[in-house]
Structures are given as C-alpha cells and as structure tokens.
Chain A
Amino acid sequence: MPVTSVFPQLEALLPRINKPIQYVGGELNAQVKDWDSVEVHWALMYPDAYEVGLPNQGIMILYEVLNERADALAERTYAVWPDLAGLMREHGVPQFTVDAHRPVIDFDVLGISFATELGYTNMIEALDLAGIPLHTKDRNNEPLVIAGGHAAFNPEPIADFVDAAVLGDGEQVVGDITDVVKAWKGDGEPDGRLGLLSRMAKVDGVYVPRFYDVDYLPDGRIRRVTTNQSAVPYRVGKRTTMDLDEWPYPKQPLVPLAETVHERMSVEIFRGCTRGCRFCQAGMITRPVRERSITGIGEMVDAGLKASGYEEVGLLSLSSADHSEIGEIAKGLADRYEGTNTSLSLPSTRVDAFNVTLANELSRNGRRSGLTFAPEGGSERLRKVINKMVSKEDLIRTVSTAYANGWRQVKLYFMCGLPTETDEDVLEIADMAREVIKAGRAASGHKDIRCTVSIGGFVPKPHTPFQWAAQADHETIDRRLKLLRTAINSDRSVGRAIGVRYHDGKPGIVEGLLSRGDRRIGAVIEQVWRDGGRFDGWNEHFSYDRWMGACAEVLPAYGLDVDWFTTRERTEHEVLPWDHLDSGLDKEWLWADWQDALSEQEQDDCRWTPCFDCGVCPGMGTDIQIGPTGVRLLPLTPVATGS
C-alpha cells in the first residue's frame, strides 16, 4: 500500500512558524527509499528539536545501517516546536518524517533514542501527534515503539509508553529487530502484536516491559520483579558492538541546511571508558573500551570530510585523549590537513600537560581560543570520592602550560551536590580558580586571560556506584552555588578574570526523579504532558512547578513523594527498579566501589593496571580492545587542492 506524503498540507503551515527549514528535510546525504521496495519501515526519532537532534551520532549511524539493508528503510523524525504542533493539531497533520514526510503511524517501528530523560514528554507529544495510542496496552496495528540510548538502561518510568527498550549498542540489534519484524510479517503476523512482542523479547538486548511484573513492599520499595511469560529472560543484558573498524558509521554524515548545535562532522575514536569516575553513567554502561584503529579513524575523517564539506572534525569519545595512539592521530591529521582551513577538536580533555600539547597540535590549522578541563570536584578529598584523580598541582601545571602556549581562555567544569560534599569542598573551587588566574598571568606574561567556572548539580544515575546515593536537594545546591559566586567575586584582583556559569538545582531534581524512578513515575510524566509539559531540556519551556504539581497528584496514592525518589539514600539490599537490566556491572562490585567512595579510596583504570573485576567482560563475553598498533597515518592529497 503506498504511503502518501503529508508535505502539501504541511507546506501551507510552514510560512506561519519559526524555523520552517527544520521540517523540510533535504539534507545532504539524506535518503528516501521506495516504500514498497522493502519489508520493514523504521522511523527514527531524536526526542528534541531538529537543531539538537540532527547532529546526533546514534541516529545517524542507525539511519545508515538500516538504509543499507535491501529489506529495510529508515527515515527520521524530531520533536516539533509548539508553534507547529498547534497548527498540526488544528489542521489534522500527523507527526511526520523529515525525509519523505510520511506519517509516523504508517511505519513498522518507531525507534526513539534517549540521551536524557528530559525527552520523555517530547516522546508522548510525538506519539499523540502521530495518532499512536500513548499506552503499549492500547496499541494494535501501530508501530512498535522502542526506546534506546543511555536513558533506556532504566526505562521503567516510560514502561507504559514503550513496547520495548534496547540496552547497549544499536548497530547490530536493529538488524536483529528488522529480521524479527520481517519474519513475523512474512508468517502472516501470528498472534498479532503480542506474538510480535514475544518474538522481540527473545532478541538479545531487547526488554519488553509488559512481560515483567513489579511487586511493591508496604513501605513503597520494590519487593521483586518477575516475568509473566515463560520464554523471556529473567535479566536482559546489554548489546556490545565489538571491533569498531567493522562499523565505520556514519560514512555519509547528514549535513543539514538549517543551523544546528554542532556544525562539524564527528568520528567516534573509541567507545567505552574505564577511568572509573563514579558519577559517570556513560563510563559505566559502555564498558569495555573499544578503540577504532588509527587507520580506521584516518579513513573515516577523509571520507566524511569529502562527503560533507564540513571544515571541522570532532574526535569523539568519552575521554578522547585516552586513545592509545592519540598523539600519532593528532599529528597525522594535522599534517594531512595543513593549509586547508580544516580544524580538528577533542571535545573532552583530561587535566594533563600532554593534552595541551595535543590541543596545540590540533589547533595548528585553526583558531586557538579556549581549552576545557573537568576536575568535577572542588577539593582533592572530593575528587577521591568521585575517583577523578587530579591534584591541584596537576591542574595549575596544566593550565599554566596552556596559557604559556597562547591559549587565552580555560574552562573548568565542576559538579555540586556530590556525595559527602560540604560547603568547604565547593568553596575550594574559588581558590582553585584564583590560583589558575595567578599562575596563568605569570606563565603568559600578560593579564589578558580568562577562566570560566561552569558548575551544575549532580544527579545520581542507575548502574553507577552512586545509584544508592542521596541526591542533594535543590536548596542545598543553590545555596552552595551562591556561596561560591560570592567567594569568587570577593577577590577584586582576579574576580573579573573569572566567569561563573551555573545551573540552578531544580531541573536536576526532575532529572533525578526520572533517572532513578520506577513504573509509578509514568503517570507523573503523562500528567506533566497533559499540563503542557514539552521540551523539558530547555530553560524557557521547563517548569519545576508543573512537575511538582503532577507529583503531588500522583505519588500520594502510593504513600510516596519526590524526596523518596531523589534525596533518599538506598540501602545495600534494596531492589532497584533497573536490577533486572544488566549493564554487565556486578551489583556487588558497584556496592564495593560505593563503599570505597565513602572512604575516599581511588580505583585505577583497568587498561593500565590489573582487572578490578567490575564484571563486564566475563559477563558479556567482551574484551578490552586497545592499541597501540604502531601504524602511522599515510599522507593523503589534501582535500582543498581539488581542481
């Protein structure tokens, strides 16, 4: 059956809204396949505005992987801004894809990638605009709604709304899901939607929430989670893509016409991180470290630049300077693109003088504006708690080198509200910033340098050693941030050279509620959406009062409140909502690491010291994949000298 484009109806609305270009598609390297030429149709959604969603690497990778299959197609859809959403409702235009403007409801699968929990209300809005029943139990012929991304490691708060959640890397599991959908359709759709879900639940890494029941204790804690189907696993394990060189995606990066948040192409140089920062969910759930080879990186950069025309390349990972051959990669790429106005960047830099050398190398062909370091904790004691092993001396030495090398601006990232934190820990940030400026003035020989302190509230996340921790309440966060600003501004000799950027504590409480929430939070999310909640990641749209209002309506029936989910410390044997979802980390190891945190014990990185038995490699059948390979990048003809 042919599926028709809604573009003619949409086109009439576009002159009346802001940023119409975000809805027309037509990006370079976008693909439109013939609907009837394939068996399985995927709509991939990033649940935020186009300008944020388009550069998302996960969506770009899956889009290409799926479109390469002869039996599948993938198109993209994003959250529509309220101005267009209102007009779409008024004129009966459903949620559509930007590629061929097909209605989302006509697809077989709607895959939504959640980088953050603050996209949940946008998912509900999209389902409603699409005409898909909000609850999985009310659906029949509509698309399978599947959540992925880091937030899917605790999908319990959205268990009512999604048919399935996928844990871990997506490259291979989307193929498995395609196979299942295709076979089920080929067999004549036996047992309807439940039949399909039963088959889905057998796919490694796929969790079907409705096949699991949750029982609660009288005090509100979870008693146990049990399966209500015979053939579903008691625990669902994550997927891990091994050998990144076999997955050189995106090969043809999508290049938008509209302005977006990242105007560059990105190459993921490795996945996973074992630095062991205890607050970092990404580092915990993406283990082990798997490096892309230096030659694989070189080929992706070359092909991606040719296919996109971008002038900046970001070398992405959770801690890019940790690639075993990063020095050679930086030098090889800088040599290759010398004189072409192509700039290279490492988005995350460790506090380490070597990183300044690296940054110098990478900025050879571009600007030298600012360097960013993330000590995260204000005091050395607190940095031991969070396992971010940086001494104050390291930091001063590193930034001095940076300023001496012509960098004029250094950004320092911190968190506030970390476990065991006191006012004094936070106030040490002011001392640190002052010393940075003094050392920088001495090293650079002039006063024209700046240091920006960026600080936000810490949110405990599932599958981390801090999953048991009490989140600091927003009053504490706001009070400490105020103390810090006062302390920084009090020293006039350096005050003007130090900028402070901070986020207030309230959004963090909502993020915390959604991060560690369970199925009872689903009704809160739905109520917030009904009250007009959208785009919760945007200051101008977020309303703390709306969230608290919905909580006050929903949670008392369970004898619970927001504090119970956020500022309450959990005990060792409490059943956590995500215990039946397996990131590979041993719960015993996580608890031991939490205890180590409380006694300020550090943990080394297993890439350079013996395995500390976090459990991931043996549990998932994976291994650390790192170099060095000893290979060098070959010089290529620079891209800008074409005839």
Chain B
Amino acid sequence: MGTRQPEGPPPPPTVQRLRIRYAKRGRLRFVSHRDFARAFERALRRSGVPIAFSAGFSPHPKISYVGAAPTGSASEAEYLEIGLQTETDPEQVRAALDMALPEGLDILEVLPAGPGGLPERIEASRWRIELPGFRTQALAAALQEFLARESVIVERVTKKGLRLLDARAAVVSARAVEGEGCAILDLVVRQVSPAVRPDDVLTALGAVAGLDGSLTSRSMRLAQGRLDVTTGVLTDPLGPDRAAAARDGALGET
C-alpha cells in the first residue's frame, strides 16, 4: 500500500510565499471558516493566481489559515499565507483575488513573507461589540463587576457537547464606549485554547451582572497581533513583512 505513487512528475515547488490580510464584512459575516476556505480556493482558480500544490494523490493548494473569526462575527483583520509556484507581484495578486471574491470578502493587503512565522505574531484580538439598546453606563458597570473577578466560567455548546471555559482569564482589557443607539464594548482578548469569543464574554457579563446582550449583539474583530503588555496595544502582525518589503524595494531602486 505504501508503495503506491501518483503518476507523472511532482508538482512545481513553492517559490514565493505571500501573507494576506482580509476582511469579512456586512452580510458575509455569516460566512463560516469552511465557507471562506472554499470561496478562497475558487477565487484562486478563477483569478489565475499561480498557487502551488502539495504532492500526493489529492493535491491541495498551499494555503495556511491563522485562527478565523467565528461565524457571525465581522472582521477587519483576518490573516492567511499562500505559496506560489511563480514569482508574482503582490499588489497584482491582491487586486486579482479581491476581484474574484464576492463583495464583503475583501482582500486588504498582500505582502511577501519576511523572516519568521505569522502565527507567532498573533497573541490577542481587539473586538468591537455593538450592543443595540444598551446604555453605556450599564455596560460600564457590568464590566466593572466582571473585571473584578479572577475567573468567570461559562458554558458553550459545541459540536462535541458542552464545554466549560474561563471567559475572564483571557480578557486583557474591556471598556464601554458610547455608540449611536447602542453601547459599544471595546474588548482585547488573549488567544487561548479553547478560544474565548465575544459571545463568551457577553455570556459572562450576563452571569455576573445580569446584562444579557448575546442575542442582539454585533461583533467585529478590529485587529490581531502581538500584545504590548505595558500599553495594551496590538502590534501589526504584517509589520515585519512590510518593513522587509520596503527595504527590498529601496534596494531595488538604487
């Protein structure tokens, strides 16, 4: 069995790796990660981007995804990396993929991969969670209760059954901001396993302070990155790649 080999030559190797930031917007926030992956692979084919494939009986396109936002959440900061079999201008790839994807799945930035891995540059997410009909002061009070605790255990129904997770421990910062007809929760959450999602924090707020916004809330991931513990700011995970590209560009011009 182990001796079976696909016929024909092996696929061309990867000669270029590109890192991509994309957004999930509007009604397409209901796209699941699997839905996105399918749409992205088709967009690659349709746009003619020379994606590299793995070897074997069922070759797969070289795509690595980094932790996707949950179904129902919008995002301005989703990341993935692709391998190409032909060197291609990143901006051309951005435009071609953006064109091939439906409106609402938008390719924001494409950069050649610099040194170091992408997943290591992502530690935490900043979320903006709209709570229509809630007052900012009520949210602020609930947050105070919540942040005063050391841990708040919540339940989540998953495909594997009920799971318990600590919604408090992962929260780095949480503050209430005034919005139009809604309170806005500005939330920074560390990426832990199992992941703590905006919904879990809202469930926790319901548990500790009786503020239940989980049914009507709308969440959007604003940023992901490495956490600066002193300032609470997230550093752009594509920063090093952008710097490397600028350096190469400057070298190319001289």
Contacts and interface: CB of A to CB of B under 8 A. Distances in A.
Contacts of B147: none
Contacts of B228: none
B83 to A, nearest CB: 15
A12 B44 CA distance: 32
Nearest to B4: A406
21 contacts: A20-B30, A20-B72, A24-B27, A24-B28, A26-B27, A27-B102, A255-B42, A257-B38, A257-B39, A259-B35, A308-B42, A309-B41, A309-B43, A309-B100, A310-B42, A310-B45, A339-B8, A639-B45, A641-B48, A641-B50, A643-B88
B53 interface: yes
Interface residues of B, number: 36
Nearest to A258: B35
Contact of A367 (B28, B58, B86, B102): B58
B52 to A, nearest CB: 11
Given A257-B38, A448-B1, A643-B88, 8 more contacts: A11-B27, A21-B35, A26-B104, A28-B42, A257-B36, A259-B34, A311-B42, A367-B57
Interface in B54-88: 57-59, 71-72, 86, 88
Interface string A605-643: 000000000000000000000000000000000011111
B37 to A, nearest CB: 11
A15 interface: yes
B28 A257 contact: yes
Contact of A263 (B38, B44, B59, B216): B38
A14 interface: yes
Interface in A259-314: 259, 263, 305-311
A21 B30 contact: yes
A212 B166 CA distance: 68
Contact of B102 (A7, A11, A257, A263): A257
B14 interface: no
Contacts of A12: 216
Nearest to B32: A21
A517 B121 CA distance: 66
B53 A14 contact: no
B215 interface: yes
Contacts of B57: 367
Interface of B: 1, 8, 27-28, 30-32, 34-36, 38-39, 41-50, 53, 57-59, 71-72, 86, 88, 100, 102-104, 215-216
A257 B31 contact: yes
A16 interface: yes
Interface in A303-337: 305-311
A309 B42 contact: yes
Given A16-B215, A28-B102, A21 B31 contact: yes
B28 A26 contact: yes
Nearest to B104: A26
A131 B222 CA distance: 41
> In which size bucket is the chain A interface?
35 or more
A643 B28 contact: no
Closest 5 CB pairs of A and B: A642-B48, A309-B42, A309-B46, A20-B30, A309-B45
A422 interface: no
Contacts of A27: 102
Given A20-B72, A28-B102, A640 B45 contact: yes
A259 B48 CA distance: 23
Nearest to A15: B72
A209 B204 CA distance: 59
Contacts of A639: 45, 48
B85 to A, nearest CB: 10
A448 to B, nearest CB: 8
Contacts of A133: none
A257 B27 contact: no
Given A259-B35, A367-B58, A21 B71 contact: yes
Contacts of A25: 27
B7 to A, nearest CB: 9
A642 B47 contact: yes
Interface in A211-265: 255, 257-259, 263
Given A12-B216, A26-B104, A341-B59, A308 B46 contact: yes
Nearest to B28: A26
A643 B48 contact: yes
Nearest to A446: B1
Nearest to A28: B102
A306 B32 contact: no
Given A24-B30, A257-B39, A309 B44 contact: yes
A388 to B, nearest CB: 34
Contacts of A258: 35
Nearest to A30: B102
B34 A15 contact: no
Contacts of B100: 309
A311 B35 contact: no
A448 B3 CA distance: 14
